[in-house]
C-alpha cells in the first residue's frame, strides 16, 4: 500500500526506456523482467520495504522442478525417498523443504517452472523424468498408488484441529496398533488427556504416533525434535527408525545435527536463498553429507553456499581458561509446589559460557531464577544479588511495538552500536521496522536473543535459544554467543537440548539430575568432559568426534566404538 515505485524510477534499464520493472496486472505489484534485468543491484538497496532480492547466480541450475510464479520462489530438484532407509534433509528454512514434501506427497503437481501453464495431471512430469529415478515414483503418485503419512512441523497447531482425547485421536486412525505405538513413545499415561491440554513435547509425541499409525509407503517427518529433551529426542529417533521396513521409506527434516546424524542413512543438503530459490543436492552418506553442510560446500554441485566452514574446537583447550568468579553460591535448596531442587555450592566464572544440561521439569528454570534473585531459596542464602538478563523458554511478542523500539528498550547503548557483534550476525536490521506480533517464531527468537545478549547485565541466561531456529541460524547464534563472551566481561548460561549447539558454545557444564516434576539436583560447573560424561552415562550413549570437523557424533549402540568407550568410562571424547 505504501509502495511509491521508487525501484521503477531508479532502475537504469527503465531509465534507458525499456520495461524492466513494470506493474503486474492482477495484483498491481511490481514485476521484474528477468530477461532485461542486468542484476545491477540498485533496486534491492533502495526499496524501503526490503521487498526485492536480486541474486546473480554463477551456476545455471536449469529449469526448476517447481516455481510459484514470476519473481517467486523456485525449487530445483527433489530429495529422493529410498526403500528401507531413512533419508535426512539438512538445510535452511525457506529453501523449499515443504514444497518438496508437497510434491512428493502428491499434494502439489510440479509445474517444471512453467507457472503460467496450470498442470492438472502428471503427463508433463512423467515426460520430463522418463528414464530417471523419479519416473517410477511420479508414476505411482499419478496413479494414487504411493501412500504417504506426514508428521507436520508445527505440532502446536494440532489442538486447533482436534479437541478430543489422545486415545480418541489415535483410535480414529488405528485402534489395534494404538497400544504398542503409545508404549514405544511413552505416552500411555496421557491417553485420556484432552489434546488441547498437552504440552509441546507431548504434542510432538502424539503427532509422531498419529503419523506412524497410518499405513504408508513413505513417512515424512518434519522436525521431530522440537519441544523434546535429549532423552526424548533419542527415543523419537529410535521410533522413527522403526518405521523403516523393506517396503517403506522415511524422509526426515531436522535441524539438530547430532540427532539427524543418528537418525539417517543418507543425507540431501538443501541450500539456496530463503524465499528466493532452493536446490536439493545429490544424495550423500550421512557423515559426508553433514560434513559438507558444515563446510558450506555442495561438492557434486560445485557450489559454495556459505563463505566460512564451521569447525569445532578441541574442548580440552577450553578447560585451561582462567576462572575469575562473577558469582558464587553456597549449597541451597528451593521448593516450588511439590518440587524440590538441591544445589551444591558453585561458582560462575566471567567470560565463559556455561551449558546447562538435563531433562525437562527438573528445576533448570527454578535454579536460574534463584540465581537471578527472582525466587528466594527455602534453605541457604545467596550472598549477592546480581543484575541478570533472562530469555525465557517461550518468547512472546509485545503488541504495538516494532523490533527497533523493543531493542532500544532492552539493549544497552554500547551493544546497539557494536553492530558487528550482535545485530548484523543475527540479521536483525531487516526486521527493525516490523511489528513484533508479525514476526515468525524464528525471527522472534533471534530478536529476544539479541535483546538479552545485548543488555547491560553481566549475567545472561538463555533458555532454549535453538528452539524454532533452523540449522544455519543455530550456527549463527552459537557463534554470536561465543563472540560476545570472548569480547565482554559477561557470563552466559545456556539451557538447550541440541547437543552440537551445546558442544559448540559451552566452556563448562551444569548438570541436572533427578525425577521430573518431583526432585532435582544440580552439580557443577563441571569441565566439558566430566559434564558430558555424566549426561551421556545417564542416557546410555557414547559420543565420539568426527575426524575432519571435530563435531560430536553418537556411536551406534552396541558398536565396537560404543563398547570400547563404555568400558573405558569415556562416554564423551574431547579430542578428534
Ligand atoms: P521450507 O519448508 O524450506 O521453509 P517452503 O517450501 O515452505 O520452505 O517455502 C519456500 C518458499 O516458497 C517460501 O519462502 C515462500 O516464499 C514460497 N512459497 C511457499 N508456498 C507458496 C505459495 N503457495 N505461493 C507463493 N510462494 C510460496
Ligand atoms: P525445567 O526448567 O528443568 O524444565 P522447572 O524449574 O521449570 O524445570 O520446573 C521444575 C518443576 O517445578 C516442574 O515440575 C514444575 O511443575 C515445578 N514448578 C515450577 N514452578 C512452580 C511453581 N511456581 N509452583 C509449583 N510448581 C512449580
Ligand atoms: Fe533494474 Fe535489475 Fe538493477 Fe533492479 S537489479 S534496478 S531490476 S536492472
pLDDT per position in the chain (576 positions), as tens?
A: 788 999 999 999 999 999 999 998 877 889 999 899 999 999 999 998 888 999 988 888 889 999 999 899 999 999 999 999 999 999 999 999 999 999 999 999 999 999 988 888 999 999 999 999 889 999 999 999 999 999 999 899 999 999 999 999 999 999 999 999 999 999 999 999 999 999 999 999 999 999 999 999 999 999 999 999 999 999 999 999 999 999 999 999 999 999 999 999 999 999 999 999 999 999 999 999 999 999 999 999 999 999 989 887 766 566 666 788 898 999 999 999 999 999 999 999 999 999 999 888 899 888 988 887 888 999 988 877 788 898 988 899 999 999 999 999 999 877 777 778 898 899 898 889 889 999 988 999 999 999 999 999 999 999 999 999 999 999 999 999 999 999 999 999 999 999 999 999 999 999 999 998 899 999 989 999 899 999 999 899 999 999 888 899 999 999 999 999 999 999 987 665
Strands (E), 432-547: 459-463, 491-495, 508-515, 519-527, 543-545
Q: Give me 74's grid cell.
A: 523456485
Cα gap 156→160, rounded to integer Å: 8
Position 51 scores a pLDDT of 87
Q: Give me 362's grid cell.
A: 527438573
Say yes or no: CB of residue 275 within 6 Å of ligand 1: yes
Answer positive or negative: Cα dihedral of 53, 59, 65, 70: positive
Please name the residues in contact with 409: beta carbons below 8 A apart, sequence gap of 6 or more: none
Measure 298 CA to ligand 3 centroid, in angstroms: 29
pTM above 0.85, yes or no: yes
Position 293 scores a pLDDT of 95
Say yes or no: CB of residue 153 within 6 Å of ligand 1: no
Task: Name the residue with the closest Cα to ligand 1, atom 5.
Answer: 96
Say what the alpha-carbon torsion angle 114, 119, 123, 124 is, to the nearest 10 degrees. Answer: 0
Position 315 scores a pLDDT of 63
Position 576 scores a pLDDT of 55
Out of 19, 20, 34, 47, mutate this one to test ligand 3's pocket (max ligand atoms within 8 Å of CB): namely 20
Cβ atoms within 10 Å, residue 20: 22
Q: From the CA of 42, give the closest atom in ligand 3.
A: 6
**DSSP H or E run through 536:** helix 528-539
Q: Give me 101's grid cell.
A: 514434501
Say yes or no: CB of residue 115 within 6 Å of ligand 1: no
Residue (of 426, 406, 403, 431) closest to 49 by Cα position: 431
Out of 99, 255, 269, mutate this one to test ligand 1's pocket (max ligand atoms within 8 Å of CB): namely 99
Distances (CA, A) of 86 to 76, 243, 244, 526: 22, 9, 7, 36
Q: From the CA of 368, give the closest atom in ligand 2.
A: 6
Task: Name the residue with the closest Cα to ligand 2, atom 1.
Answer: 361
Say yes or no: CB of residue 11 within 6 Å of ligand 3: yes
Cα gap 432→47, rounded to integer Å: 15
Position 49 scores a pLDDT of 81
Measure 316 CA to ligand 3 centroid, in angstroms: 51
Q: From the CA of 101, give the closest atom in ligand 1.
A: 6
Say yes or no: CB of residue 102 within 6 Å of ligand 1: no
Q: From the CA of 520, give the closest atom in ligand 2.
A: 10
Say yes or no: CB of residue 452 within 6 Å of ligand 1: no
Amino acid at each position: 500500500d505504501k509502495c511509491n515505485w521508487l525501484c521503477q524510477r531508479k532502475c537504469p534499464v527503465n531509465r534507458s526506456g525499456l520495461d524492466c520493472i513494470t506493474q503486474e496486472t492482477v495484483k498491481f505489484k511490481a514485476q521484474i523482467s528477468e530477461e532485461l534485468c542486468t542484476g545491477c543491484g540498485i533496486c534491492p538497496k533502495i526499496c524501503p520495504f526490503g521487498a526485492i532480492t536480486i541474486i546473480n547466480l554463477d551456476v545455471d541450475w536449469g529449469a526448476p522442478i517447481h516455481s510459484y510464479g514470476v519473481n517467486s520462489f523456485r525449487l530445483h530438484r527433489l530429495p529422493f525417498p529410498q526403500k528401507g532407509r531413512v533419508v535426512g534433509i539438512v538445510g535452511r528454512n525457506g529453501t523449499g523443504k515443504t514444497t518438496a514434501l508437497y510434491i512428493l506427497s502428491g499434494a502439489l503437481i510440479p509445474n517444471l517452472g512453467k507457472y503460467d501453464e496450470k498442470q492438472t495431471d502428471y503427463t508433463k512430469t512423467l515426460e520430463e523424468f522418463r528414464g530417471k529415478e523419479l519416473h517410477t515414483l511420479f508414476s505411482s503418485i499419478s496413479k494414487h498408488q504411493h501412500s504417504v503419512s506426514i508428521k507436520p512441523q508445527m505440532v502446536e497447531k494440532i489442538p486447533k484441529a482436534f479437541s478430543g482425547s489422545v486415545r480418541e485421536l489415535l483410535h480414529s486412525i488405528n485402534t489395534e496398533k494404538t497400544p504398542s505405538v503409545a508404549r514405544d513413545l511413552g505416552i500411555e499415561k496421557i491417553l485420556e488427556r484432552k489434546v488441547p491440554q498437552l504440552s509441546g513435547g507431548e504434542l510432538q509425541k502424539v503427532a509422531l504416533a498419529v503419523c506412524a499409525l497410518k499405513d504408508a509407503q513413505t513417512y515424512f517427518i518434519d522436525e521431530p525434535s522440537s519441544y523434546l529433551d535429549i532423552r526424548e529426542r533419542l527415543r523419537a529417533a529410535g521410533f522413527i527408525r522403526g518405521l523403516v521396513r523393506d517396503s517403506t521409506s522415511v524422509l526426515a527434516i531436522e535441524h539438530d545435527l547430532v540427532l539427524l546424524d543418528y537418525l539417517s542413512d543418507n543425507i540431501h543438503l538443501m541450500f539456496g536463498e530463503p524465499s528466493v530459490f532452493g536446490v536439493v543436492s545429490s544424495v550423500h552418506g550421512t557423515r559426508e553429507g553433514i560434513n559438507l553442510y558444515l563446510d558450506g560446500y555442495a561438492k557434486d554441485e560445485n557450489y559454495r553456499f556459505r563463505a566460512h566452514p564451521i569447525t569445532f574446537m578441541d574442548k580440552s583447550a577450553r578447560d585451561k581458561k582462567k576462572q575469575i568468579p562473577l558469582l558464587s553460591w553456597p549449597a541451597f535448596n528451593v521448593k516450588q509446589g511439590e518440587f524440590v531442587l538441591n544445589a551444591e555450592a558453585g561458582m560462575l566464572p566471567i567470560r565463559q559460557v556455561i551449558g546447562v544440561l538435563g531433562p525437562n521439569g527438573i528445576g533448570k528454570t527454578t535454579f536460574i531464577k534463584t540465581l537471578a534473585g527472582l525466587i528466594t531459596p527455602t534453605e541457604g542464602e545467596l550472598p549477592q544479588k546480581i543484575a541478570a538478563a533472562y530469555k525465557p523458554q517461550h518468547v512472546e511478542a509485545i503488541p504495538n511495538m516494532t523490533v527497533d523500539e523493543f531493542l532500544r528498550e532492552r539493549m544497552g547503548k554500547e551493544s546497539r552500536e557494536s553492530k558487528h557483534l550482535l545485530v548484523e550476525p543475527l540479521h536483525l536490521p531487516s526486521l527493525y521496522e516490523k511489528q513484533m506480533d508479525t514476526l515468525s517464531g524464528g525471527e522472534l527468537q533471534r530478536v529476544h536473543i539479541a535483546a538479552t545478549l545485548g543488555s547491560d547485565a553481566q549475567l545472561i541466561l538463555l533458555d532454549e535459544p535453538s528452539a524454532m531456529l533452523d540449522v544455519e541460524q543455530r550456527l549463527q547464534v552459537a557463534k554470536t554467543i561465543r563472540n560476545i563472551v570472548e569480547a565482554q566481561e559477561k557470563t552466559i548460561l545456556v539451557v538447550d537440548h541440541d547437543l552440537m549447539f551445546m558442544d559448540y558454545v559451552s566452556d563448562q557444564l551444569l548438570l541436572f539430575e533427578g525425577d521430573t516434576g518431583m526432585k532435582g539436583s544440580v552439580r557443577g560447573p563441571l569441565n566439558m568432559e566430566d559434564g558430558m560424561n555424566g549426561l551421556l552415562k545417564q542416557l546410555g550413549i557414547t559420543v565420539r568426534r568426527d575426524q575432519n570437523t571435530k563435531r560430536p557424533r553418537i556411536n551406534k549402540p552396541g558398536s565396537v566404538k560404543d563398547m570400547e568407550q563404555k568400558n573405558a568410562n569415556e562416554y564423551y571424547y574431547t579430542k578428534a
